[in-house]
Structure 1
Amino acid sequence: MSKRHLYLLALAIIVAALAAMHYKWNTLRFPVVPDAKVQVWTVQAHVEYQPRRAANTVTLQLPWHTPGWIVLDERFVARNYSKLEERNAQGREVQWAIRRALGEQDLYYRATIVRSELRDEDRLDFEPAIPPPPELEEPYATAAQTLLDQVRERSSNTVTFARELLRRLGETEPSEEVALLRERFGQDDSARTAFVVQLLAIRNIPARMVHGMHLPEQASEQDGRLLSWLLVHDGLAWHMLDPRTAAEGMPRDLFVWSTSGKPVLVIDGEPPATLQFSVARNLADAMATAERRLEVRDANLVRYSLLSLPLQAQQTYQVLLMVPVGAFIMLILRNLVGVKTYGTFMPVLVALAFRETALVAGIVLFVLVVGTGLLVRFYLERLRLLLVPRLTAILIVVVLLMAAVSVLSNRLAIEVGLSVALFPMVIMAMTIERMSVAWDERGGATAIREGIGTLVVAAVAYVVMSWQPLEHFVFVYPEVLLVLFALSLVLGRYSGYRLSELVRFRALAGEPDPIAPPPEKPAAPDARA
Structure 2
Amino acid sequence: MKRFHLPLLILLLLGAGLGIFLYKATLLDMPLQPGATADTWVVESRIRFQPTGGAADVRLSIPERLPNFARLDENFISRGYGLTTSHGTDDRIAQWTSRDPRGEQTLYYRTTLYRDASAGPHAEYPGPVAPREWDEPFDSAAEALIQSVRERSSGIQSFATVLVRDLGGAGADGNASLFVMDDGDRELRTQTLIDLLSVARIPARAVTVIPLRDGHRNIEPETWLEVHNTERWVPVHPLNGNTDYPDDVVVWSHGDAPILEVRNGTGEELRFAVTRSVQDALGTAQRLGETLDTRILDFSPLELPLGTQNTYRVLLMVPLGAMIIVLLRNVIGIQTFGTFMPVLIALSFRETQLLAGVILFTLIVSLGLAVRFYLEHLRLLLVPRLAAVVSVVIMLMLGLSILAHHLGLERALALSLFPMVILAMTIERMSVVWEEHGPADAISQGVGSLIVAAAAYGLMASRQLEHLLFVFPELLLVILAVTLLLGRYTGYRLTELARFGKMQDALRKPD
- Would you say 1:283 and 2:278 are equivalent positions? yes
Q: Distance in 1 between matches of 2:124 and 2:58?
A: 26
Distance 1:467 1:445 in 2: 33
- How far does residue 410 in structure 1 lie from its aligned partner after superposition? 5.2
Q: Which amino acid aligns with 1:452?
A: V
Equivalence for 2:144: 150
Which of 98, 119, 122 is residue 120 of structure 2 equivalent to?
122
For 1:40-79, list aligned pairs within 5 A: 40-53=40-53, 56-79=56-79
Kept in 1: contact 2:13–2:481 (CA 8 A): yes
Q: Which residue of 2 aligns with 1:193?
A: 190
Task: Pick closer, same or farther for the CA change 1:145–1:449 going to 2, 3 Å.
Answer: same
Q: Secondary structure at the match of 1:388?
A: helix
Change (3 A) 1:106 1:61: same
161-170 vs 32-41, greater mean Cα deviation:
161-170
Quick check: 1:129–1:207 contact (8 Å CA) kept in 2? no
Pairwise CA distance, 1:92: 1.0
Q: Residue by residue, what CA displacement relative to the aligned partner does 1:271-303 show, whole Å, maximum 9, x if unpaired?
A: 223323233434322222222223322331211
Identify which range, 387-396 or 461-470, moves more after superposition. Answer: 387-396
State yes or no: 1:295 paired with 2:293.
no
Deviation of the 1:322 alpha carbon: 1.0
Corresponding residue to 2:251 among 236, 253, 256: 256
State whether structure 2 residue 333 is matched by structure 1 residue 335. no
Matched, 1:91 2:91: yes
Measure, in 2, the Cα distance between the counterparts of 1:117 and 1:248: 16
- 1:522 equivalent in structure 2: none
Deviation at 1:341, TM superposition (A): 0.9
Q: Could you tell me whether the CA contact under 8 Å between 1:131 and 1:198 is conserved in 2? A: no
What is the TM-score when the length of structure 2 is the normalising length? Answer: 0.82
- Determine the C-alpha separation between the residues in 2 that align with 1:175 and 1:497: 84
Provide the rounded CA distance (Å) in 2 between the counterparts of 1:355 and 1:147: 79
Give how far 1:9 is off. 6.2
Aligned with 1:30: secondary structure? coil
Q: Equivalents in 1 of 2:85, 2:333: separation in Å? A: 67
| Cα gap change, 1:496 to 1:201, in 2 (>3 Å) | closer
* Equivalent residue in structure 2 for 1:392, among 387, 408, 418: 387
Q: Aligned pair count?
A: 507
Sort the Cα spacing of 1:221 and 1:443 in 2 relative to 1 into closer, same or farther, 3 A: farther
Alignment of 1:395-434 (within 5 A): 395-407=390-402, 409=404, 414-434=409-429
1:83–1:97 Cα contact (<8 Å) kept: yes
Q: Which amino acid aligns with 2:143?
A: D
Shift of 1:189: 2.2
How far is 1:351 from its partner?
A: 1.0
CA distance in 2, matches of 1:351, 1:221: 53
Counterpart of 2:120 in structure 1: which amino acid? D
Percent identical across equivalent pairs? 41
For residues 232 and 507 of structure 1, the distance between their equivalents in structure 2, rounded to whole angstroms, comes to: 77
CA distance in 2 between partners of 1:131 and 1:506 (Å): 82
Moved more, 26-35 or 76-85: 76-85
Number of the residue aligned with 2:35: 35
CA deviations 1:224-281 (Å, max 9, x no partner) are 4322233344666444333223455555554211126531112224522332323343
The alignment yields a C-alpha RMSD, in angstroms, of 4.0
Instruction: Tell me whether 340-349 or 151-160 shows the greater mean CA deviation.
Output: 151-160
- Residue 34 of structure 1 deviates from its aligned partner by 1.1
State the Cα distance separating 1:346 from its structure 2 match: 0.8
Q: Aligned with 1:150: secondary structure? A: helix
Q: Please report the TM-score for the alignment, with normalisation by the length of structure 1.
A: 0.80
SS of 1:42's equivalent in the other structure is strand
Q: Structure 1's 132 and 490: CA in aligned 2 closer, same or farther, altered over 3 A?
A: closer
Within 5 Å, which residues of 2 pair with 1:343-492?
343-407=338-402, 409=404, 414-492=409-487
- CA distance in structure 2 between the aligned counterparts of 1:430 and 1:402, rounded to whole angstroms: 15
Per the TM alignment, residue 113 of structure 1 is displaced from its structure 2 partner at its CA by 1.5
Change in 2 beyond 3 A, CA 1:11/1:220: farther
| 1:103 CA displacement | 5.0
Are 1:132 and 1:198, in contact at CA under 8 Å, matched by a contact in 2?
A: no
Deviation of 1:479 after TM superposition, in Å, equals 4.1
Is the CA contact 1:67–1:124 (under 8 Å) kept in the aligned structure 2?
no
Which letter maps to 1:384? R
Cα distance in structure 1, aligned partners of 2:75 and 2:37: 22
CA 1:328/1:160 → structure 2, altered by over 3 Å: closer, same or farther? closer
Q: 1:200 to 1:338 in 2, by over 3 A?
A: closer
Unaligned runs of 5+ in 1: 520-529
Distance 2:416 2:67 in 1: 56
Alignment CA distance shift 1:450-1:326 (3 Å): same
